[in-house]
A and B are shown apart, each in its own frame.
Chain A
Amino acid sequence: MFDFLSFGKTPEMIKKRKTAFVRVQRFNPDEDEKPYIQEFEVPMTPETTVLDALQYVKTELDGSLTFRKSCRHAICGSCAMNVNGSNDLVCHRNLPESLDKTGVVTIKPLPYLPVIKDLVVDRTSFWEQYKRVKPWLVPPEDAPEKEFRVSPEEVAAINSAETCIMCGACYSSCQVIAMGKDYIGPHALLKSFLRVMDPRDTIPGERLDISGGEDGAYRCHTIFNCIDACPKNLNPTEAIETLRKLAQRRIAFEEERAERQKTLTEAAD
Chain B
Amino acid sequence: MTSTSGNDADAAGLDGPAASAVPAVELIGIGKRFGAVVANADVDLVLRRGTVHAVMGENGAGKSTLMSMLFGLLEPDSGEIRIDGRPVRFAGPLDAIAAGLGMVHQHFRLFDTMTVAENVVYGAEPRRPGFFGRGVVDRAAAAARVRELSERYGLESDPDAVVGSLSAGARQRVEILKALHRDARILILDEPTAVLTPNEVTSLFAVIRRAAEGGATVVLVTHKIHEVLSVSDEVTVLRDGRVTGRFATAEATAASLVHAMTGRAIDEVRNPRTGTPGATVLEVSGLTVGDSGAGSGSGSRTSPGGGGVAAVSDVSFEVRAGEIVGIAGVSGNGQHELVAAVLGTLPARSGRVRILGDDVAGRSVRDRRALGLAVIPEDRRGEGSAVTMSVAENVTLGHHRTPPIGSASGVGRGWMSIRAERARARELIRDYDVRTSGELQPIGALSGGNAQKVVIARELSHRAPLVIAEQPTQGVDVGAIESIHGRLLEHRADGGALLLVSHEISELLALADRILVMYAGRIVAEFPADEATTARIGAAMAGAAEAASEPDPEDPES
Real binding pair: no
Residues of B whose CB lies within 8 Å of any CB of A are none
